Each structure stands twice: as C-alpha cells, then as structure tokens.
C-alpha cells in the first residue's frame, strides 16, 4: 500500500476541518479526493505532506509512519505535491524552478544533476521549449504544468495534485489528463483533488468523498457518483449524476 490514513483529525480553534478520516491509496493507482468547497481536502493534503500536524490519527507512507514529520522530511521520502494556487519563482527560468524539486526532493541532486532531471520533467509536461523563459512569463496552463514539473523533478513515489485542472479550458484539461496518465504509467502513484467531475470519472481508479471533514463515500467512480449522500452533499442534483454515468 502506498498510503494509509487511519482516524486522521485536525481542528483549528473550534472548527473541525478533518474528522476521523481513514482511507488507503494503492500503489500504482490514481485516487481522487472530491467534495464541496470547505470539505477539508486541502487541509488533508497539508496533514499528509507535513505542512501542519494532525491532532490525532496515523499516516503511513510506504510502510513508514510519517505522522507528524515536517514537510522537508516527507519530501525526502518521496512524496511531492502541487498547490491549488500556483506560485512559481517568477524571476527564475522554468528550468531553475524545476531544479528546486530535484535539489530538495527524494534524490537531493546537486546543481548539475538537478538541471538534467529538471529538463526531463519539463519534457514530460510539454515545457521543454519554455525551459529558458522566466516562469513569470508563462500563461496559466504553462504555470500549472511547471508546478507539476517541479513536483516530478523531486522523483516522488506518491504525487499529490491539488486542483491541477482548475482554470483550464477543455483542450488544456485533456492535455493535462494525458500528462497525468503518463506520469502514472511511469510508476508514480497519484492522489488528486479535483472538481472537474468528467475528468475524475475518466482518470481515477478510486474516488474518496469528503463532506464537512469526514469521508461520506469511497469506491469506484461510477459507484460513488450514484451514492445518494454524494448527490446531496456535492453533486446537488440526481441529473448531474446521471450525466456522469452516461
């Protein structure tokens, strides 16, 4: 098993953001984490990759308990992530941005070796021709792919993708989904947060649904979107589920 969460909870003041969450991510899979805004999805990512500690529960990554480890230590074990709001190092080139992942990721490459790893990651996401451009000069789609390249350059075993498709047009969504499939085919397990439900249906092996910080459903995509609790909490209309199933 690539990742296992057992009874993970987190509160901020009197607000319980994550409530007794348990699920697993099999090695080699693409697992989608969905739910309404404010459901606790990004907070859960922050707990998994060590941005903030959980109040209780256990997080196991590749048979190692990483509960409470800081983000840099988790990254060195081979867990990388992207962020919902992309913030590249705008004055650095695309290659230099990707090199950051190689330098501080699992293999902790030196500068020369990091450049080669960065170029490989940029090629994977279709940005090889943009390697020498300042990151600030890229458009949104390219910045999203640069964020992914930086994570890939860390050579992760598990990749957390936080709304990688947000703000993209249908052509750009299709391109990004192709990249995600190629990344999985290359041996990287993926856990993603996404609101584009057609994409979730097409790319995911398993879907986990959060509402108010708690898991309300988990299973195959077609089973989950037909679940009455998911329709009520997230899809909002049985017709939306029917459209996804046809």
Same domain, 109 and 72: no
pLDDT at site 121: 97
Tokens at residue 240, please? Answer: 């939306």
Same domain, 111 and 232: no
**Domain for residue 84, yes or no?**
no
Please identify, among 136, 155, 174, the residue that sits at the C-terminal boundary of a domain.
155
* Per-state percent for the chain, helix, strand, coil, to nearest 5: 40, 25, 35
Q: Are 160 and 75 in contact (CB under 8 A)?
A: no
Same domain, 161 and 138: no
Continuous H helices in 17-92: 41-48, 71-76
Same domain, 116 and 61: no
Same domain, 148 and 163: no
Residue 61, sorted as left (phi over 0), alpha (psi -120 to 50) or beta, turns out to be beta
Please identify, among 111, 137, 155, the residue that sits at the C-terminal boundary of a domain.
155
Please identify, among 126, 155, 184, the residue that sits at the C-terminal boundary of a domain.
155
Same domain, 70 and 144: no
Residue 123, sorted as left (phi over 0), alpha (psi -120 to 50) or beta, turns out to be alpha
Cα 160 from Cα 208, distance rounded (Å)? 14
Same domain, 174 and 125: no
Same domain, 69 and 37: yes
Q: Are 132 and 112 in contact (CB under 8 A)?
A: no
Q: Which residue positions in the chain have pLDDT lower than 70?
A: 246
Same domain, 236 and 193: yes
Same domain, 240 and 132: no
**Domain for residue 110, yes or no?**
yes
- Taking each helix axis from N to C end, the angle separating 94-104 and 140-152, rounded to the nearest 10 degrees, works out to 30
Structurally, the chain folds into a number of domains equal to: 2
Same domain, 120 and 194: no
pLDDT at site 238: 74
Same domain, 115 and 187: no
- Nearest CA to 130 out of 149, 112, 117, 111 is that of 149
Q: Are 3 and 25 in contact (CB under 8 A)?
A: yes
**Domain for residue 19, yes or no?**
yes
CATH of the domain at 179: 3.40.50.300
∠ at Cα 214 (199, 37), nearest 5°? 50
Cα 198 from Cα 6, distance rounded (Å)? 29
**Domain for residue 83, yes or no?**
no
How far apart, in Å, are the Cα atoms of 127 and each of 33, 85, 120?
27, 19, 10
pLDDT at site 57: 97
Q: Are 57 and 7 in contact (CB under 8 A)?
A: yes
Contacts of residue 41, Cβ cutoff 8 Å, sequence gap at least 6: 33, 34, 35, 162, 193, 210
Question: What residues make up the domain containing 129?
Answer: 89-155
Mapping DSSP to helix (H, G, I), strand (E, B) and coil, where does residue 61 land?
Answer: strand
Please identify which residue in the block is written with the tokens 């397990």. Answer: 189
Say what the pTM is. 0.95
Cα 152 from Cα 125, distance rounded (Å)? 9
**Domain for residue 130, yes or no?**
yes
């Amino acid at each position: 098993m690539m990742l296992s969460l057992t009874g993970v909870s987190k509160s901020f003041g009197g607000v319980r953001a994550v409530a007794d969450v348990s699920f697993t991510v099999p090695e080699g899979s693409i697992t989608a984490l969905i739910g309404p805004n404010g459901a606790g999805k990004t907070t859960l990512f922050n707990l998994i990759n060590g941005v903030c500690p959980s109040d209780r529960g256990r997080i196991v990554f590749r048979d190692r308990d990483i509960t409470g480890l800081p983000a840099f230590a988790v990254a060195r074990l081979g867990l990388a992530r992207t962020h919902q709001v992309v913030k590249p190092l705008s004055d650095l080139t695309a290659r230099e941005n990707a090199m950051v992942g190689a330098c501080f990721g699992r293999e902790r490459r030196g500068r020369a070796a990091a450049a080669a790893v960065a170029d490989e990651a940029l090629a994977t996401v279709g940005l090889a021709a943009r390697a020498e451009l300042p990151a600030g000069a890229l458009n949104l789609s390219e910045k999203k792919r640069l964020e992914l390249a930086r994570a890939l350059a860390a050579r992760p075993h598990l990749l957390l993708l936080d709304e990688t498709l947000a703000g993209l047009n249908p052509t750009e969504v299709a391109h990004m989904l192709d990249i995600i499939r190629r990344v999985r085919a290359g041996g990287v397990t993926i856990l993603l947060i996404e609101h584009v439900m057609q994409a979730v249906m097409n790319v995911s092996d398993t879907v986990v649904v959060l509402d108010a910080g708690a898991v309300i459903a988990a299973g195959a995509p077609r089973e989950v979107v037909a679940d009455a609790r998911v329709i009520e909490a997230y899809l909002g209309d049985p017709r939306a589920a029917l459209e996804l199933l046809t």
